Structure 1
């Protein structure tokens, strides 16, 4: 069952915390981005003015607003602004091409869109086909594009007045789910409050019972100097960075984002040192390997980074190797938290390491709200070798947007309690640890991004030189999996692997582009005529030198 605690509208809570902390310390910064900073009063005012600009362009209660921004103060200001209007924030991947952007905006029925300037041209194409998209704001570009409004112009206008809101107001989080199309997971503010309340547990503080308790805790944390400082190196458009940022804001904390738009290990560690960061979110070995290399380099040159403030590093859903964890722990007295989680709920498994490097394990255990269940709802017996699926109760979303069938399939009731069961298979060892068996072979997790094989296959076979294609994930020490394609050429055609990869990259987000393309004589199929993905995976591993 959901944990006890406050169940409030997120905008109302943020306003109350901003008022209280801003009164206590008017100069206290809440958002830091390079040489830019926002105080609590500025955070609230800019969000209110952006809300006013969106409202003036037709956005109202219940209207979805896409947010296609890089990690920045503008991302969190926009979430705050949308929630102030009782509208619905929707995370939008800034890597999307026009077709993908249009697909997700139509799916959720977006009325507004706030995007980085690098997406402005794509947004212009989509807006021309999608008249319901009445409000488009572009950050990082002072020029105009049709009816688009520059972000700084939007936050210079009149603010939207505060209003009564409900804990039932919605938040949509787009996720790949288990099909080739994105799904929109519907959360209400009450459920999000439950998820982000984990910030209190990490601080060994009780979860407040109501809004007054949230404000009192935030004020106490600021007064005591214990308000958390968080750096989301992982994208705010993903659940780990988003939920953890919100939880730390509710505690009167500060969120530090990096101006660099790809991982810069030296800049990240310099920011941790400069701003006294307490908590850091990363994306498994995709981030941890280069971050460790930079720590090793600096230490070897006699200029080690000061990680004395850093207490915890999070990762979720992506491979994070044991040796990498050990290396990080040799540079600081940390807790490393590796979680199995999904947009649909969780955590389904937790692995905690630190501070002793020699005691590191990458084995996961079940938290109190999780279990491994069989198809008929029985708990898998530890040590039995029986395969089940990871399930979690606690704070859960309402389901999938406009998809009761998928909602019923994933959100199931066992013993009278609702659980999320997104499809990850596992067994439970005799000692209670988990052996993870993964999800459907058609989903590739590369650096935290989900890639659906059929979508990439379709892009490949649309090339005139390709007759057939199969796409699989090959294990990769840094990214978890590497997108790999086996293709059969049309008779008489010559296949250029680089040209095929570029062809996919021109149509789909770059992370979906195959990193290895190999021509094969034929693609094996099962007796039912379907592609034999087990054969394809084994063949791709052979060709890439992995076994």
Structure 2
């Protein structure tokens, strides 16, 4: 008999082989795998008593806590569909996502209870409102329900093509879309992650990445598959993160480039002693080579760059180590590690194609769009057949990312297709220019957008966040760029800002930047 490819299989195995191994650390709470999955079963039993059945949606608005982690097991083992919502969104966003997904039960952390209370009457399909922490009048108490419940419930048959989660995109310029991830999608991503980024039995993983973000890049299941320990960090506080890395002897963490920058630039008196040997996986946007160099050279950490999208479960490439990389200098390795890399063994087929649909040559220069098909590509957008057809109607998922393929097969993103700057007929990669500016010692963050120009059509405009205590000038930044780039690629204007506008998952909102510094300051 064939077994269904589902991440729930990782739970069964961990429970059988490692019942007394530590599974979860959440503030003062420590749970073995036996204790954690007993709680998951009890919550499944409660949800069943609430009428949650196969295919029903259960939504969560919560940071990285043990209760949020449990949702990735307790909901899908009922055959139900988990909807993890970005807790940094607005109350109106909560209404849209809860209603669009048709969630039957809504589970909310204490920090978001006030926001949800203001819009509860606009969520007519929600039958039960549960407070994961801080229960009060009008809310059911998660901990009390779990404590009183039986761990016994009827386990339904689950197909690997069944929906596991609906993950909503960030929706920077339009309404967010619900990405349908199947049990097979998540299983294959987790297995591929373990093959390329091997967590060892008993190692500890720090939750610096939000679990809601593409299911925590499937580390919600991958860590369990490895028999590791989930160390919860509800809010990204660098001092607390470094403390946990030391005291819990953390070996792994994932971080978007914005968090990498935060960690790399945490003052020594705040971060304290930095233990070496931590493995960092970064994705979500192209990290600056300089940031990678800092973490590897100064901290003694190992940084691996992966690439993917919510629609691809998420990983489709990884910047894998190769023997020929060993002799490279720190700077050369940093530049290489900033590339997106090659297909994971399990992800499927990736091609960079031109406008005619033909694969571009592997010359590191010809730009095309990344397309992918295979095991990790979503089932489609929930209740949106038109968007599904546009994105993957020809059998390939079209990412919207412009990239080149190097002779060694490594893919390197140049830009979002919509963000490529065309100046005097020449294409300029904002990612390339940003990478150069980030090497300037006074630049903490940088973003490049194209703005209209009478002669050239478009010209690069740089937005720069300077390191505290520095005062770089526009002329200095432009001269630095011209020293390291072809002159037509260098920004012709520089705007200094206190911060860059970002989505709730840390992606820079370039559509806001195109409105100029005044638009940025209003964010």
What TM-score do the two structures reach when normalised by structure 1? 0.70
After superposition, what is the alpha-carbon deviation per residue over 1:464-505, rounded to whole angstroms, capped at 9, x for unaligned? Answer: xxxxxxxxx9745699xxxxxxxxxxxxxxxxxxxxxxxxx9
Q: What's the CA shift for 1:172?
A: 1.1
Residue 315 (structure 1) aligned with residue 258 (structure 2):
no
Residue number in structure 2 paired with 1:436:
414
Asked if residue 406 in structure 1 is aligned to residue 395 in structure 2, the reply is no
| 1:283-329 CA distance string (max 9 Å, x none) | 21x22223123374579xxx622234x2x201112242112211111
The structure 1 residue matched to 2:249, chosen from 276, 297, 302, is: 276
Q: What do you get for the CA RMSD once the two structures are aligned?
A: 3.8
Any conservation in 2 of the 1:6–1:194 contact (CA below 8 Å)? no
| Separation in 2, partners of 1:71, 1:412 | 36
Listed one character per residue, the Cα deviations across residues 165-220 of structure 1 (whole Å, up to 9, x for unaligned) are: 31233121111368501111111111210011124313669xxxxxxxxxxxxxxx
Cα distance in 2 between the residues matched to 1:203 and 1:340 = 13
Q: Which residue of 1 aligns with 2:204?
A: 229
Q: Name the counterpart of 2:191.
A: 197
Question: Which residue in 1 is equivalent to 2:301?
Answer: 334
Shift of 1:68: 0.6
Give the match's secondary structure for 2:75: helix
- Between 366-375 and 63-72, report the one with greater CA deviation: 366-375
Query: How far does the alpha carbon of each residue in 1:379-414 deviate from its partner, in whole angstroms, 9 at most, with x for none?
Result: 01233854321112332211111222211221254x
**Residue pair 1:339, 1:350 contacting (<8 A) in 2 also:** yes
Q: Which residue of 2 aligns with 1:161?
A: 153
Task: Give yes or no for contact 2:170–2:505 (8 Å, CA) kept in 1.
Answer: no
Task: Kindly state the Cα deviation for residue 29 of structure 1 after the two structures are TM-superposed.
Answer: 1.4
Contiguous gaps of at least 5 residues in structure 2: 421-429, 432-460, 468-500
Q: Could you say what secondary structure the match of 2:356 adopts?
A: coil
Alignment of 1:353-502 (within 5 A): 357-358=330-331, 359-361=333-335, 362-367=338-343, 369-383=349-363, 385-394=365-374, 395-413=376-394, 418-428=395-405, 433-440=411-418, 475=463
Cα distance between partner residues in 2 of 1:349 and 1:204:
15
Partner of 1:305: 274
Q: In structure 1, how many angstroms separate the alpha carbons of the residues matched to 2:68 and 2:80?
A: 15
Aligned residues: 434
Deviations 1:315-374 (A, max 9, x none): 112242112211111244433122231011154554468996343212333436322012
Asked if structure 2 preserves the Cα contact closer than 8 Å seen for 1:6 and 1:193, the reply is no
Q: Does the residue aligned with 1:197 lie in a helix, a strand or coil?
A: helix
Corresponding residue to 1:85 among 78, 98, 109: 78
Mapped partners of 1:243, 1:141: distance in 2:
28
* 1:89-144 alpha-carbon deviations (Å, 9 max, x no partner): 01111122222111111111110111111222332343323332012211220323
Query: What is the aligned partner in structure 2 of residue 287 from structure 1?
Result: 259
Unmatched runs of 5 consecutive residues or more in structure 1 = 206-220, 446-472, 480-504, 516-532
Residues of 2 paired with 1:31 and 1:111: CA distance? 28
Displacement of 1:34: 2.2
Structure 1 residues 53, 7: closer, same or farther in 2, change over 3 A?
Answer: closer
Query: Could you tell which deviates more after superposition, 78-87 or 10-19?
Result: 10-19
In structure 1, distance between residues paired with 2:503 and 2:293: 33
CA distance in 1, matches of 2:505, 2:80: 30
Superposed displacement of residue 541, structure 1: 6.3
Q: Is the 8 A contact 2:239 2:270 kept in 1?
A: no
SS in 1 for 2:74: helix
Contact 2:513–2:519 under 8 Å retained in 1? no
Deviation at 1:232, TM superposition (A): 2.2
SS at 1:422 equivalent = strand
Q: TM-score, normalised by structure 2?
A: 0.73
Q: How far apart, CA to CA, are the structure 2 residues paired with 1:396 and 1:70?
A: 26
- CA displacement, residues 410-440 of structure 1 (integer Å, 9 cap, x when unaligned): 1254xxxx43212112234566552512143
The corresponding residue for 1:129 is 122
* 1:232–1:245 Cα contact (<8 Å) kept: no
Contact persistence 1:372–1:388 (CA under 8 A): yes
Partner SS, residue 288 of structure 1? helix
Single out whichever of 115-124 and 398-407 deviates more from structure 2. Answer: 115-124
Match of 1:257 among 232, 252, 260: 232
Distance 1:194 1:430, change over 3 A: closer
Alignment partner, residue 10 of structure 1:
7
Deviation at 1:158, TM superposition (A): 1.8
Q: Tell me how far apart the structure 2 counterparts of residues 182 and 544 of structure 1 sit (CA, whole Å).
A: 22
User: Within 2, Cα distance between the matches of 1:474 and 1:38?
Assistant: 48
What residue in structure 2 maps to residue 248 of structure 1? 223
Distance 2:161 2:413 in 1: 37
Shift in alpha-carbon separation, 1:237–1:384, aligned structure 2, 3 A: closer
- Structure-2 change in CA distance of 1:232 and 1:475 (3 Å): farther
Counterpart position of 1:525: none
Give the whole-Å Cα distance in 2 for the aligned partners of 1:384 and 1:233.
Answer: 33
Q: Residue in 2 aligned with 1:51? A: 44
| 8 Å Cα contact 2:353/2:369 also seen in 1 | yes
Q: State the distance in 2 between where 1:135 and 1:92 align.
A: 17
